[in-house]
């Protein structure tokens, strides 16, 4: 985030907030929870490659960063967007996934399901949330 002019620092305790970012433009801190994937894995255990994250429904952070370490990509969401975009929901958490194979045929066609469909949420397109 430093490349975007935003300073950030990790938290020393696990309270559901992993980073606090500070923008000199807004002069306001942003709290961020970070969820990572090392690499895509077979969707459902045997399907096309996908990234997936489980996000607590009651996150204390204002923003959620979902990361694909293998491609060095980061998507940024607020909690309302996570609730709307998640393909699965339980009482206390959301499950959001992205197929990395564009030929994957998701069972729910009324929702975003492929990584390329989430381009709007890539950090470089969402930096305004931190400024």
- CATH number, position 44: 3.40.1350
Would you call 92 exposed, middle or buried from its count of C-beta atoms within 10 A (0-12, 13-18, 19+)? Answer: exposed
Taking residues 68-91, report their average pLDDT: 94
Per the structure, the count of domains in the chain is 1
> Domain range holding 80?
2-130
64 has a pLDDT exceeding 50? yes
Confidence of residue 88 (pLDDT cuts 50, 70, 90): very high
Angle at the Cα of 125 (from 123 to 126), degrees rounded to 5?
60
Tell me what pLDDT residue 41 has: 95
């Amino acid at each position: 985030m430093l490349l975007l002019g935003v300073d950030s620092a990790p938290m020393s305790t696990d309270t559901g907030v992993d980073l606090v970012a500070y923008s000199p433009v807004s002069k306001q801190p942003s709290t961020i929870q970070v969820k990572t994937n090392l690499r895509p894995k077979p969707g459902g255990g045997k399907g096309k490659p996908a990234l997936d994250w489980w996000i607590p429904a009651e996150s204390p952070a204002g923003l959620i960063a979902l990361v694909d370490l293998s491609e060095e990509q980061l998507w940024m969401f607020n909690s309302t967007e996570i609730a709307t975009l998640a393909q699965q929901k339980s009482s206390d958490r959301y499950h959001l996934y992205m197929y990395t194979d564009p030929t994957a045929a998701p069972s729910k066609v009324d929702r975003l399901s492929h990584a390329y469909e989430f381009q709007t949420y890539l950090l470089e397109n969402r930096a305004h949330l931190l400024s």
